[in-house]
């Protein structure tokens, strides 16, 4: 069994595998602009974040009913369990569904039906994080938070995703303030394609507790010092960075340098159906390509639980951390 780990950067819509997409398309009478799963997979060649997002949002057309969202989450959890995931904090993009006429309640009820039985079925505890699309307006984000109010018992936090450049964090100051007042935790994508300044802004203006990606902090030594000092976790997604051409090759990934600098980094899959692997595959890829030793992998697994929003269940966090310390690395998948 792979090392126990938490996954903290995972878009549930990004787990939609071609086979499930075609099955849901048939069930819902949706025609996809691809002949079959091979042709769809063949379209997974991205030049940047936007080229991926165009396909990602397009394929969501097959997600229509609560049962579709339940099936999507079940499929993810089953794969995640096989890769050692014990806790998952899962993003979803309500605006990508409400814009197509799928009510937010359908999305949340559908996902919840899967997450509620996740522990019993897959041995995975879960949290849900609702993301705002940063290329939509601040008003739309506020309306989304308002629409989510009947479901706040299912939502742990808010996040910010989609096209980064030109949509700085400060655009969402008001909705993050409102989310904080409702007791929601705060994260945001920053420094994926956007500059290190967006990471500072996410911390200073939005008050985020964790930064998604944060890769480009490495261009700003003072910012690195601050992230180390304040123990701000970064949720890295190595295979995503290669597929979206944020870095040229995996060998160029700064993960090792970030660990050496003392940053609290975690490894995650982002959109595993599109980027060539789930979280364990990301662990294996960085182990192989960056020459990580077992103690590096243990640190990454430990960090994943330290960075998770388990403050409401410290007993569970302690149990997971003990599993990490007791784990013996062999030759198998990490
Ligand atoms: N939505 C899904 N995946 C994303 C990513 N890697 N960056 C920004 N928004 C996303
Ligand atoms: Zn992401």
Is 89 a residue of the active site?
no
How far apart are alpha carbons 10 and 150 in whole angstroms? Answer: 24
User: How confident is the model over 188-216, as pLDDT tens digits?
Assistant: 999 999 999 999 999 999 999 999 999 99
Asked if the structure places residue 231 within a domain, the reply is yes
Nearest residue to 235 (alpha-carbon basis) of 275, 183, 195, 199? 199
Rounded to two decimals, the pTM is 0.98
Asked if the structure places residue 64 within a domain, the reply is yes
On the question of pLDDT at 331 being above 90, the answer is no
How far apart are alpha carbons 235 and 253 in whole angstroms? Answer: 14
Ligand nearest to the CA of 8: 2
Mean per-residue pLDDT, 213-242: 98
* Binding residue ranges for substrate: 271
User: How confident is the model over 246-266, as pLDDT tens digits?
Assistant: 999 999 999 999 999 999 999
Q: Give the ligand 1 atom nearest the CA of 93.
A: 1
Asked if the structure places residue 236 within a domain, the reply is yes
Asked if the structure places residue 146 within a domain, the reply is yes
SS3 of 255-280: HHHHHHCCCCEEECCECHHHHCCCHH
35-43 long-range CB contacts below 8 Å, 24 or more apart? none
What one-character DSSP code corresponds to residue 210?
A: E
In which band, very low, low, confident or very high, does the pLDDT at 160 lie, cut at 50, 70 and 90? very high
Ligand nearest to the CA of 52: 1
What one-character DSSP code corresponds to residue 14?
A: G
Pocket flag, ligand 1, residue 235 (CB < 6 Å): no
Q: Give the ligand 1 atom nearest the CA of 192.
A: 7
Pocket flag, ligand 1, residue 270 (CB < 6 Å): yes
Pocket flag, ligand 1, residue 49 (CB < 6 Å): yes
Residue 105 C-alpha from the chain's centroid: 21
Asked if the structure places residue 331 within a domain, the reply is no
Asked if the structure places residue 317 within a domain, the reply is no
Other Cβ atoms closer than 10 A to 120:
8
Domain of 159, in residue numbers:
5-308
159, with CB counted inside 10 A (0-12, 13-18, 19+), is buried
Asked if the structure places residue 136 within a domain, the reply is yes
**How many domains in the chain?**
1
Asked if the structure places residue 332 within a domain, the reply is no
Percent of the chain exceeding pLDDT 70 equals 100
* Binding residue ranges for Zn(2+): 9, 11, 189, 270
Q: Are 238 and 271 in contact (CB under 8 A)?
A: no
User: Residues 192, 193, 201, 299: which is the catalytic one?
Assistant: 192
Q: What is the CATH number of the domain that holds 142?
A: 3.20.20.140
User: How confident is the model over 64-88, as pLDDT tens digits?
Assistant: 999 999 999 999 999 999 999 999 9
Which protein residue's CA is at the shortest distance from atom 8 of ligand 1? 162
Strand 125-133 and strand 5-11: the pairing is unpaired
On the question of pLDDT at 301 being above 90, the answer is yes
User: How confident is the model over 100-158, as pLDDT tens digits?
Assistant: 999 999 999 999 999 999 999 999 999 999 999 999 999 999 999 999 999 999 999 99
């Amino acid at each position: 069994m792979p090392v126990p780990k938490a996954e903290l950067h995972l878009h549930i819509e990004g787990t939609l595998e071609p086979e499930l997409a075609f099955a849901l398309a048939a069930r819902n009478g949706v025609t996809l602009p691809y002949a079959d799963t091979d042709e769809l997979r063949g379209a997974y060649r991205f030049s940047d974040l936007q080229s991926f997002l165009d396909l990602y949002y397009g394929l969501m057309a097959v997600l229509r009913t609560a049962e579709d969202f339940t099936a999507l989450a079940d499929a993810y959890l089953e794969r995640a369990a096989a890769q050692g995931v014990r806790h998952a904090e899962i993003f979803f993009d309500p605006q990508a569904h409400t814009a197509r006429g799928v009510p937010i309640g359908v999305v949340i009820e559908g996902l919840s039906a899967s997450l509620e039985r996740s522990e019993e079925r897959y041995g995975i505890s879960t949290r849900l994080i609702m993301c705002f699309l940063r290329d939509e307006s601040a008003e739309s984000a506020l309306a989304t938070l308002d629409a989510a109010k009947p479901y706040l018992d299912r939502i742990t936090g808010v996040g910010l995703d989609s096209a980064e450049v030109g949509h700085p964090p400060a655009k969402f100051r008001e909705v993050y303030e409102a989310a904080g007042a409702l007791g929601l935790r705060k994260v945001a994508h920053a420094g994926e394609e956007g500059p290190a300044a967006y990471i500072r802004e996410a911390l200073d203006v939005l008050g985020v507790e964790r930064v998604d990606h944060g890769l480009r902090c490495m261009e700003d030594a003072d910012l690195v010092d601050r992230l180390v000092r304040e123990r701000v976790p970064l949720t890295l997604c190595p295979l995503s960075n290669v597929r979206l051409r944020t870095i040229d090759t995996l060998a160029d990934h700064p993960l090792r340098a970030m660990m050496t600098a003392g940053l609290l980094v975690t490894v995650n899959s982002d959109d595993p159906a599109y980027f060539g692997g789930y979280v364990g595959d990301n662990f294996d890829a960085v182990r192989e390509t960056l020459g990580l030793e077992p103690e590096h992998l243990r640190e990454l697994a430990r960090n994943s639980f330290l960075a998770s929003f388990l403050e409401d269940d410290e007993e569970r966090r302690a149990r997971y951390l003990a599993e990490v310390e007791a784990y013996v690395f062999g030759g198998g998948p990490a």
